[in-house]
Amino acid sequence: MATIQPLREETMIINMGPQHPSTHGVLRLVLELDGEYVVSCRPVLGYLHTGIEKNTEYRTWQQGVTFVTRADYLSPFFNELGYCLAVERLLGIEAPPRAQVIRVMTNELTRIASHLLWLATTGLELGAISIMLYAWREREVILRIFEMITGLRMNHAYIRVGGVVMDLPEGASEQVRDFLDVMPGRLHEYEELLTGNPIWRQRTEGVGHVPGDELVALGVTGPMLRAAGIDWDLRKQLPYCGYETYDFDVPLRTAGDCFARYEVRIEEIRQSLRIVEQCLDRLEPGPVMVEDPKLRWPAELSVGPDGIGNSERYVRHIMEESMEALINHFKIVTQGFQVPAGEVYQAVESPRGELGYYVVSNGGNRPYRMHIRGPSFVNLQATPRMVEGGLVADVVASVASIDPVMGDADR
Amino acid sequence: MIVAELAERLRARHPDAVEARGEVTVVVSPDRLLDTLSSLRDEHDLRFTFLSDLTASDWPGLDLRFWLAYHLLSMEHLHRVRVKVGLPPRPDPPHVPSVTPMFPSASWLEREVFDFFGIVFDGHPDLRRIEMPEGWEGHPLRKTEGLGGVNTRYKGAFIPPPDQRST
C-alpha cells in the first residue's frame, strides 16, 4: 500500500448554488473539484422547504388542494390531480366523465408547458439562448389558456375533490384547438434549431449517462428512465383517470444521456398534443363535480377580472333566496367534509416522473397525514452518480437533464 | 394484475396481508422488516424491485406510536404493496434497520423520515437532516410539535395561526 502515490495534491471545494442560475431554483451542490474534474458531489436540499405536508394537517380536505398545487409549481395540475384522486379513493367516489376529460386535458397541457420550460432553461444554460425565447413564447400561450380556464396562470386549485371547480368557459376549446394547430410546426422549429446543432449535441451526447438498472435502483422515474430504455409510464402501466382509453405512445431512447432525455421530452410533447386533441373530441356536456351536496364545493365560481370569485348569481341565491343553501355553504366551507379512516397511495405520471400521494385519514375533516413522493426529490439522488468523474461544465447539463423543481423536492 | 390475486399470493407467506381500496398492506415487526422486503423483492412471482416511497406517520397515545410505510412497486408484474412497521414510543428516538443497502432509492427518503420524525435508521450510510437546517431542534412532523405561526391582523382583529383556530 505504501507504494501507491496519491493522484492529486489538493482538491478545491466549491458551492454551486443555492443561488446559481443553473440550479433550477435553490439546489445547492457542494462540489469537490480537481482542476476541471468533479471528484465528489454532495447535494444539499431544504432551501425551499415550506412545510406543505404539515400544513395540510391543519386544513380541511378541500383546502389541501391549494397547498399541494404549490409543491411542484411548474406542473400544478399534477399535484392537484394526485391529491384529489387519493382523497376520492378514500371517499369511494369518482369524478364525473366530463371532469375526468378536463383533468386529462389540463394535465397534458401542463406537461407540454413544463417540458417547454425545461427546454427553455436547459437551452439557456447550455448557451442556446434563442430556444429559450421560442419555448417561452409557446409556454405563454398555454398559461393564457390556463388563465382563461382557471383564472390563474399557476397554482390554480382548479381540480378539486369530486371533480373540477367549474366548467370550461366559453371559447376555451377553440383556444386549445388553435394551440394544437400551431404547436407541431413550432416543435419542428425547435428540432431544426437543436437536434442537428453540433454544439448542442456536444454538450449533451454522452453526458450524464446512467444505465437503466442503476436508475431503477436509485428510484429515478419519468423521462430520465425512459431515455435509458426502460418502458415505464404510469399512464400506460398503471393507468388512472381513464388514460387506458387514450391513444398515445410512450417515447423511448436507449442512450441514457442528456441528449436522449431531450429527445424523449420533445417526443412527449408530441404525444401530449395527441392526447389533448382526443380530449377535445370527448368533451360531452355534463356535470363537472359530483352531485352529493355533502361533498361538492357549494359555491358556483366564475372567472372575473381579478381571478376566481363567487358568481353573482350564486351569491344572490344564498344571501336572498335559500337559507338551507347558506347553511350548507357555511358548513362545507368552514368545516369541510369527513373522510372515512384509511390510507391510500396514489401515483400519477408527472412531467418529472412518479408523483405519489400517500394520504392517511383518521375519519376527521382534515388529513391526518399527507406525504408527497416528489419525483424531483428522488430523482436528484442520481446527481452524484451522473456528475462524479466528469467535467464541472457538464454538471450544468446533467442537473438540467433531471429537470428538478425545488418546490417539488423540498415541499 | 388483479389485487385480489396478489393478496392471495402474499397471504401464503404473510397471513395478515390486508386488501383495502385496491391496495395490499402487509404489517411486519421491525426485526422481520429486512427479511420481508428482500423476499418481496426477490421471489419470482412478486418481484417488488422498486421502492417508490417511504414515509412515516405519528400516532401519539398508541402502543405503537410511529408507523413507517414502505411503498413497493413491481415493474414486472405491475402491482404495488405497502409494508408497514410499527414502532413503540420508547426508546425515543426509535430505531429501525435501514433498507438503503437493499434499495438505494431509500437513502434520502430515510433521511427525510429521520429529519421529520426522529426515527433512526440503523445502518444508513449517511443519516443527516435533509430538509431542516442542521442545527434544528426537534422533528417537525411529529404530532407533538405545533405548526407555528403568528397572529395575523385582519380588519382590526387578530386571526390566530392555523393550529390554534377552533375549526
Convert chain A into a string of H (helix), E (strand) and C (coil). CCCCCCCCCCCEEEEECCCCCCCCCCCEEEEEEECCEEEEEEEECCCCCCCHHHHHCCCCCCCHHHHHCCCCCCCHHHHHHHHHHHHHHHHCCCCCHHHHHHHHHHHHHHHHHHHHHHHHHHHHHCCCHHHHHHHHHHHHHHHHHHHHHHCCCCCCCCEECCEECCCCCCCHHHHHHHHHHHHHHHHHHHHHHHCCCHHHHHHHCCCCCCCHHHHHHCCCCCHHHHCCCCCCCHHHHCCCCCHHHCCCCCCCCCCCCHHHHHHHHHHHHHHHHHHHHHHHHHCCCCCCECCCCCCCCCCCEEEECCEEEECHHHHHHHHHHCHHHHHHHHHHHHHCCCCCCEEEEEEEEECCEEEEEEEEECCCCCCCEEEEECHHHHHHHHHHHHHCCCEHHHHHHHHHHHCCCHHHHHC
Residues of chain A with CATH 1.10.645.10: 52-290+344-374
Q: Is-contact A375 B99, C-beta < 8 A?
A: no
Q: What is the reported pLDDT for B6?
A: 81
Q: Is residue B59 in some structural domain? A: yes
A282-296, B8-22, B112-126, B135-149: lowest mean pLDDT where? B8-22
pLDDT tens for each residue of A270-303: 999 999 999 999 888 888 888 888 888 887 777 7
CA of A221 to nearest chain B CA: how many angstroms apart?
9
> How many Å apart are CA A167 and CA A159, to the nearest integer?
11
A356 closest CB neighbour out of B53, B129, B130: B53
pLDDT tens for each residue of A116-147: 999 999 988 888 888 989 999 999 999 999 98
Residue A2 has pLDDT above 60, yes or no: no
CA of B132 to nearest chain A CA: how many angstroms apart?
6
User: Is B23 touching A (CB cutoff 8 A)?
Assistant: yes
Residues of B in contact with A91 (CB under 8 A): none
CA of A229 to nearest chain B CA: how many angstroms apart?
14
B53 closest CB neighbour out of A237, A358, A381: A358
B167 in helix, strand or coil?
coil
- Which one is predicted more confidently, B8 or A200? A200
The residue segments making up the domain with residue B119 are: 3-138
Question: What is the mean predicted confidence (pLDDT) over B56-64?
Answer: 91
Q: Is residue B153 in some structural domain? A: no
Contact B162 A58 (CB under 8 A): yes
Q: What is the reported pLDDT for A319?
A: 86
| Residues in B 79-118 with any Cβ partner in A closer than 8 A | 80, 82, 103-109, 112, 116
Rg (CA), chain A: 23
Residues of B in contact with A335 (CB under 8 A): 167
Q: What is the reported pLDDT for B150?
A: 81
Task: Tell me the pLDDT band of A7, cut-offs 50, 70 and 90.
Answer: low
Contact A219 B105 (CB under 8 A): yes
Residue A187 has pLDDT above 80, yes or no: yes
Question: What is the mean predicted confidence (pLDDT) over A79-91?
Answer: 93
Average pLDDT, rounded, for chain A:
88
Q: Is-contact A387 A41, C-beta < 8 A?
A: yes
Contact A54 B107 (CB under 8 A): no
Residue B4 has pLDDT above 90, yes or no: no
Class of the domain covering A52-290+344-374: mainly alpha
Residue B157 burial class via C-beta count within 10 angstroms: exposed 0-12, middle 13-18, buried 19 and up: exposed
User: Is A89 touching B (CB cutoff 8 A)?
Assistant: yes
Contact B57 A360 (CB under 8 A): yes
Closest chain B residue by Cα to residue A27: B131
Q: What is the reported pLDDT for A8?
A: 60
Task: Tell me the pLDDT band of B145, cut-offs 50, 70 and 90.
Answer: confident
Q: What is the reported pLDDT for B100?
A: 92
Closest chain B residue by Cα to residue A333: B167
- Give the side-chain half-sphere CA count within 13 A for A19: 0
Residues of B in contact with A406 (CB under 8 A): none
Q: Is residue B154 in some structural domain? A: no
User: Is A369 touching B (CB cutoff 8 A)?
Assistant: yes
Residue B66 has pLDDT above 80, yes or no: yes
Q: Is residue B86 in some structural domain? A: yes
User: Is B42 touching A (CB cutoff 8 A)?
Assistant: no
Q: For chains A and B, what is the number of CB pairs under 8 angstroms?
A: 97
Q: What is the reported pLDDT for A134?
A: 92
Question: What is the mean predicted confidence (pLDDT) over A31-35?
Answer: 88
User: Is A58 touching B (CB cutoff 8 A)?
Assistant: yes
CA of B125 to nearest chain A CA: how many angstroms apart?
14
User: How many separate domains does chain B show?
Assistant: 1
pLDDT tens for each residue of A292-350: 888 888 877 777 776 677 788 888 888 888 888 888 888 888 888 889 999 999 999 99
Residues of B in contact with A347 (CB under 8 A): 52
A4-8, A269-273, B17-21, B121-125: lowest mean pLDDT where? A4-8
First to last CA, chain B: 42
pLDDT tens for each residue of A234-263: 998 888 988 989 999 999 999 889 999 999
Task: Tell me the pLDDT band of B147, cut-offs 50, 70 and 90.
Answer: confident
Contact B82 A381 (CB under 8 A): no
CATH number of the domain encompassing residue B72:
3.30.460.80
A45 closest CB neighbour out of B49, B50, B131: B131
- Tell how strand B23-28 and strand B18-20 pair up: antiparallel
